[in-house]
Structure 1
Amino acid sequence: MTAYLITSVSVVGAAPTDLLIRDRVVAEVGPGLTAPDATVIDGTGLVALPGLVDLHTHLREPGREDAETVESGSRAAALGGYTAVCAMANTSPVADTAGVVEQVWRLGREANLVDVQPIGAVTVGLAGERLAELGAMADSAARVRIFSDDGHCVADPKLMRRALEYVKAFDGIIAQHAEEPRLTEGAQMHEGEVSTRLGLIGWPAVAEEAIIARDVLLAEHVGSRLHVCHVSTAGSVEVLRQAKARGVRVTAEVTPHHLLLTDVKAETYDPVFKVNPPLRTAADVTALRAALADGVIDVIATDHAPHAVEDKECEWAYARPGMLGLETALSIALDVLGPQWDLIAERMSRTPARIAGLTGHGVDPAPGVPANLTVIDPAARRTIEPAELASRSRNTPYARMTLPGRIVATFLRGEPTVLDGKATK
């Protein structure tokens, strides 16, 4: 195994120092290090962060390998600075059994680009009618701890309560896609002034807020762990703020696109901007950014949702919702938050690793720590070209946008998955 010496690098925004990686761990951190056998990386002007962890990734395999595979999605993740991703269950077949989650887990191990942690479905076939094999998935080799029907809401309150009660036995988490389906039938975008002007059926904010309010009450009653996926409205922020003040065991995530883009993008009728939950208003974006800064929202999660060309390059009404996110998330965070490196590390690495229970991830580079880390050049700027992305899909909302930051290197247990901005395999 090759040793690597990163010289004059800032660790999470601190003063420049040297960082030696050897035998899968960070061996030494300090100025003036020497290691004749090590490959030297000049870290001048660069920042080292704990490897990023994504709680919300769609890898599409099994079933939609035309859009993404575990390997291609893992490569995209590594190029985005990630060392671990949690793979959502809406595959085909659905990851609702021990066999399917173990398949995804093994594909991740074979690719060996990031640690792929499967998320199991809450209900059989994501149908919302009966619980999936939660215990069997938890006891499988994949050791599933997060369960979600993402893409569908667990709308039945009785079933949601049962799921929360079941996972409490092993300190598991139900991750809810908060959408009251009876309020969003036929919805095409955020319900508001823009949808009225365009004549498109709106997706009201209250459809999200009502489910979050219900579920925090259920989680409080049961004493179980709830995670809210892709929070998108100012009202949801206030529901979460009140729940956390009461001590409810709830965490929440926001996506990069909900931190940057608004429903005005729908005026282009470009289906790349169609997403679920939809892009909201500028006021919602402001509230989400404030909640991320003060900790009401715990995590930035990508909701990386690759789609094949025929599912996106069509009329708005027929397009599948979703956007790519893994290769651009850190740049969006840097654009939105600025160089607040400790906050970025907290929201994109430490906290998601802690929520998912991913040992060895989300730990700042220090002697003896597993060498799961990413190195970024914050001064660099890059123009996003869809054809250059590692994902099999091209549905990025940031096409031809110039964004700050460039991933220089990513290390998974001491082995580089990215060097000089390029995938190593």
Structure 2
Amino acid sequence: MLLKNGHLIDPATKTNEPVDIRVENGTIVELGKDLSAKDNEEVLDLSGLTVAPGLVDTHVHFRDPGLTYKEDIHTGSLAAAKGGFTSVICMANTKPTVDSVGTLKDILTRAQDENIHIYQTASVSYGLSGEKMTNFDALADAGACGFTDDGIPLLDATFCYEAMCKAAELHMPISLHEEDKAFITNNGINAGETSARLGVVGSPAIAEEVMVARDCMLALRSGAAVVIQHISSGNSVELVRTAKKLGADIHAEATPHHFTLTEEALLEHGTLAKMNPPLRTEKDRQEIIQGLKDGTIDLIATDHAPHSTEEKSRPLTEAPSGITGLETSLGLGITSLVKPGYLTLTELLEKMTCNPASLYKLPGGSIQAGAPADFVIFDPDEKWTVTDFASKASNSPFKGAELYGKIHYTICNGKIVYRG
């Protein structure tokens, strides 16, 4: 395949110019200007389109095994491809939990049948209990790319520190769901003006902040590569900023919904805007954007959390938290961050390609000779409307929204896996 006339933006190599790209056997073999097609070579004319490395998401839920009425590996991979993602990292809170080599190998074996790269974390504790550490060595040997009890906080500080030390020994990331449940009556809803209007007792930002403060210091002491998942509070951003200055190997994820929406979205969208951690205030949103600008937040992750229509139709305090996020992520990044001038397109893509690939030691994330032929090809100035979903789920407050950044192709291993 020869990709002709595209404008290449690759943060890893600091490329931002028209480049032709030749692909053979799933690998990039040549980049240059005015490359000529060889015999029997498929030519894709990308005039007017931007070519970037295939997007990488460090935080998705494919609900497989155990909850496949919400999503499964196949539908999750279709949603990822439609959103421009060629690599995703699945969380371990499936049923059964990914706390054994058998469960991990089953997922990774079935994932090989899909058209994108699917990586899998293992849980920190057996059954997400936060009490007994899983066999990190065996799980790492079996192919786990990191460790997390996502969805459940590690409330025991000593246990969390021991897990960090073990992850550091293996040079693997550990990612943390930050939530002190002692402060929370109803999660997924910010404790603030909107919850008061709705007559609901919600989840205050301090529930996240005390855990982030603790784990920033544990990260500093342990030397582990620690990821603060789906950061929602401006104070949490400042804590991570301070920990980085102190020398901690700490990273933070921001989701598109947290840099796009505030708690007021609950008034318009109801349970479709219920997520954990919750949408917070405009001040928090702006401080997350500032964290993205200055590099404090180095990852954009969707926390893709599909749920059934029946589940999201329950009353606000009973419905599950989470939204489906893979198919709207790039569009929201361009619309909410690039178009208003907060980030350049290169800066946005850095947090969606090379930064996550580097942290998790994945082969993608850059466009250069010898790299996997994984690309997202899009028009950052073309508008599109969020309508149908490739996911099994459609629990999104962005249904009907008009966004910039229409995706025309997703290519993984040199194969077109989505055409828009």
TM range (shorter): over 0.9
Unaligned runs of 5+ in 2: 10-14
Q: Distance in 1 between matches of 2:105 and 2:28?
A: 30
User: Which of the numbers 341, 345, 370 marks the counterpart of 2:349?
Assistant: 345
Counterpart of 2:6, as a letter, is V
Counterpart of 1:7, as a letter, is K
How far is the alpha carbon of 1:294 from its aligned partner?
A: 0.9
Who is 2:397 aligned against? 397
How far is the alpha carbon of 1:132 from its aligned partner?
A: 2.0
1:330 equivalent in alignment to 2:327 = no
1:320 equivalent in alignment to 2:323 = no
Percent of matched pairs sharing the same residue? 35
Q: Distance in 2 between matches of 1:17 and 1:269?
A: 43
Counterpart of 2:222, as a letter, is V
When structure 1 is superposed on structure 2, of 289-298 and 127-136 the one drifting more is 127-136
How far is the alpha carbon of 1:380 from its aligned partner?
A: 1.8
Who is 1:53 aligned against? 56
Who is 2:6 aligned against? 9
Q: Secondary structure at the match of 2:133?
A: coil
Which residues in structure 2 correspond to 1:119-130 (within 5 Å)? Answer: 119-130=121-132
Q: Distance in 2 between matches of 1:265 and 1:110?
A: 38
Q: Distance in 2 between matches of 1:348 and 1:335?
A: 15
Who is 2:381 aligned against? 379
How far is the alpha carbon of 1:269 from its aligned partner?
A: 6.0
Counterpart of 1:262, as a letter, is T
Q: Distance in 1 between matches of 2:304 and 2:355?
A: 19
Contact 1:212-1:236 at 8 Å conserved across structures = yes
Who is 2:359 aligned against? 355
Contact 1:56-1:303 at 8 Å conserved across structures = yes
Runs of 4+, deviation exceeding 4 Å: none
Q: Distance in 2 between matches of 1:267 and 1:183?
A: 23
Q: Secondary structure at the match of 2:351?
A: helix
User: Which of the numbers 28, 31, 40 marks the counterpart of 1:29?
Assistant: 31
Q: Distance in 1 between matches of 2:108 and 2:272?
A: 29
Contact 2:186-2:317 at 8 Å conserved across structures = no
User: Which of the numbers 104, 108, 115 marks the counterpart of 1:105?
Assistant: 108
How far is the alpha carbon of 1:188 from its aligned partner?
A: 4.8
Q: Secondary structure at the match of 1:408?
A: strand
Unaligned runs of 5+ in 1: none
Q: Secondary structure at the match of 2:302?
A: coil
Who is 1:242 aligned against? 242
1:192 equivalent in alignment to 2:195 = no
Q: Distance in 2 between matches of 1:135 and 1:383?
A: 46
Q: Distance in 2 between matches of 1:76 and 1:188?
A: 24
Q: Distance in 2 between matches of 1:160 and 1:185?
A: 24
How far is the alpha carbon of 1:16 from its aligned partner?
A: 2.2
Q: Secondary structure at the match of 2:382?
A: strand
Counterpart of 1:38, as a letter, is E
When structure 1 is superposed on structure 2, of 161-170 and 246-255 the one drifting more is 161-170
Contact 1:269-1:316 at 8 Å conserved across structures = no
CA RMSD of aligned residues (A): 1.4
Which residues in structure 2 correspond to 1:38-117 (within 5 Å)? Answer: 38-111=41-114, 113-117=115-119
1:369 equivalent in alignment to 2:366 = no
When structure 1 is superposed on structure 2, of 242-251 and 365-374 the one drifting more is 365-374
Q: Secondary structure at the match of 1:53?
A: strand
- TM-score of the two chains, using structure 1 as the length reference: 0.94
Q: Distance in 1 between matches of 2:414 and 2:271?
A: 40
Q: Distance in 2 between matches of 1:17 and 1:219?
A: 41
The one-character-per-residue Cα deviations of 1:306-353 (angstroms, maximum 9, x if unpaired) are 011221122111100000111110001111222623212210000000
Who is 1:218 aligned against? 218
Contact 1:167-1:173 at 8 Å conserved across structures = yes
How far is the alpha carbon of 1:356 from its aligned partner?
A: 1.0
Q: Distance in 1 between matches of 2:135 and 2:417?
A: 34
Counterpart of 1:67, as a letter, is K
Query: Kindly tell me: are residues 174 and 369 of structure 1, through their superposed partners in 2, closer, same or farther at Cα, counting changes over 3 Å?
Result: closer
How far is the alpha carbon of 1:24 from its aligned partner?
A: 1.6
How far is the alpha carbon of 1:169 from its aligned partner?
A: 1.6
Q: Secondary structure at the match of 1:54?
A: strand
Counterpart of 1:203, as a letter, is S
Counterpart of 1:117, as a letter, is Y
Q: Distance in 2 between matches of 1:179 and 1:41?
A: 47
Counterpart of 1:313, as a letter, is S
Q: Secondary structure at the match of 1:251?
A: strand
Number of aligned positions between the proteins? 410
Contact 1:94-1:121 at 8 Å conserved across structures = yes
Contact 1:324-1:397 at 8 Å conserved across structures = no
Q: Distance in 2 between matches of 1:354 and 1:221?
A: 22
How far is the alpha carbon of 1:368 from its aligned partner?
A: 3.0
- TM-score of the two chains, using structure 2 as the length reference: 0.95
Who is 2:12 aligned against? none
Query: Kindly tell me: are residues 189 and 16 of structure 1, through their superposed partners in 2, closer, same or farther at Cα, counting changes over 3 Å?
Result: same
Who is 1:177 aligned against? 177
Counterpart of 2:287, as a letter, is A
How far is the alpha carbon of 1:398 from its aligned partner?
A: 0.5
Counterpart of 2:347, as a letter, is L
The one-character-per-residue Cα deviations of 1:260-280 (angstroms, maximum 9, x if unpaired) are 011001123621111000001
